[in-house]
Chains A and B, each alone.
Chain A
Amino acid sequence: MKLLFELNGVPQYLDVEPGERLLRLLRRLGMKSVKEGCGTGDCGACTVLVDGRAVRSCLMVAPQVQGRRVLTLEGLGSVDDPHPLQQAFLDAGAVQCGFCTPGMILVAYELLQGNDDPSPEDVRKAIAGNLCRCTGYVKIADAVLLAARWKQEGKWR
């Protein structure tokens, strides 16, 4: 079937199998930041934003984003031009193997869109469904709080 949606600001019009998972479609389109950790909604590695809200792309089929805006980490920033949240993860030392990082950054992005001044508790609640096997979460939470401070200082986009 034909699917029309916006991926990282670019309109896409293409053929999909009606049962194709959104996760797989996005990877097929080159969005390799979208990871499959569990495939059952538990780990958060496949997180993307649909119309600004974080969702699990492993629990969606592609047609569900018909007419929607999808944002993956690739749409947030790049190696040459990282988004402040990406820079905060680097500065805080919040990345080890990196598998959980795209999902962590996107749930943090959703949080900071609606809340400029999150408490450490707000941050922990926001990332609670994203599993990290490496860091122990402390530096991830630090990174999000650092990014929140930058956002308050106007260093944001």
Chain B
Amino acid sequence: MSGVHARGVRRFHFARDVEEALSLLAAYEGRGALLAGGVDLLRSLRVDIEGLIDITRIGLSYTKEARGGLAIGGTTTLTSILESRAAREYGGGILADLLHRVAVPPLRNMATLGGALVSAHPWADIPTALVALGAEVRWQGEKEGRVPVEELYQGPFRGLFRQAVAIEVLLPPWDGAFAYEKVGRTGYDIALLNACCGVGVEGGRIAWARVAVGARPDRGERLPWAEEALIGQRPSQTLWQEVQDLVAKRIEVGDDRRASGAWRREVAGVLVERALARASGRAGM
């Protein structure tokens, strides 16, 4: 059981803006932490953390349309994304599909998109979807930058967000639809495996395809060879099954205490097949 009291914490700040959050963070020299929903941070707070810097009241909570896609503020709660009109239509309804599978309502009332992006547990749902969707994150630290989430996760991103704020997540427009699949022991348990797939069609043939699988047990990654196998083909149940077999043959999976690699290999194909079938249905194929 975690302590009822975060013993090391000596001060709590409501940052007024990003600049103040960053200067407070710098002043603590590693003994301060940015606090968003707190679901992850306070669940197992490091004992050396002395200062909590709340960033939920600096105007970074919004979901809006941006250049045909979406821009979602770093401290937007998962519930408020679910309730936003702009998010409803995006990617054939992928955000509702995804977020309804993340934890349960009271935790979604607390957890933020930025917190999910940064905590990025290998089994987590949101990173797999962000990678599949080609999301980018805009961040601000000593410098400012914008980076695809897929690229971010290949580098030392935890170090970056010890000195920077995730300002906004940008989701690009897609002419087509996505679907999210997750399997856990119960509806509420974390994923044993998850998958996010998207497809778009032009002139009866698949023009683009995105396939990402997570909790392998490693964090969600795209399977470019599965995407290549789809592009240029005519959408059909037979094609989804061919890709299912291909995924089961080629995907890199491993064992952990939750599931065996052999089980994951088998199930990865099934989840990809289901996600493709649902995504194509939503895209009106």
* Residues of A in contact with B (beta carbons under 8 Å apart): 1, 17-21, 23-24, 36, 38-41, 44, 47, 53-56, 58-61, 63-64, 66, 107, 110-111, 125-126, 128-129
Contacts and interface: CB of A to CB of B under 8 A. Distances in A.
A39 B4 contact: yes
B42 to A, nearest CB: 5
B54 interface: yes
Contacts of B38: 59-61, 64
Given A59-B110, A64-B54, A110 B105 contact: yes
B105 A40 contact: no
A24 B7 CA distance: 13
A125 B100 CA distance: 9
Contact of B106 (A1, A20, A21, A107): A107
Interface string B3-14: 111111111101
Interface of B: 1-12, 14, 35, 38-39, 42-44, 52, 54, 79, 100, 103-107, 109-110, 187-188
Chain A interface, >50% SS class: mixed
Given A59-B39, A60-B42, A129 B105 contact: yes
Contacts of A60: 38, 42, 110
Contacts of B105: 54, 107, 110-111, 125-126, 129
Among all A-B residue pairs, the 4 with the closest Cβ atoms: A129-B104, A19-B9, A19-B6, A18-B12
Contact of A56 (B12, B79, B110): B110
A39 B12 contact: no
Contact of B54 (A54, A63, A129): A63
Contacts of B2: 39-40, 58
Given A61-B12, A61-B42, A64-B35, 13 more contacts: A19-B8, A19-B9, A20-B5, A38-B1, A40-B2, A54-B109, A61-B6, A61-B52, A63-B52, A125-B100, A128-B187, A129-B103, A129-B106
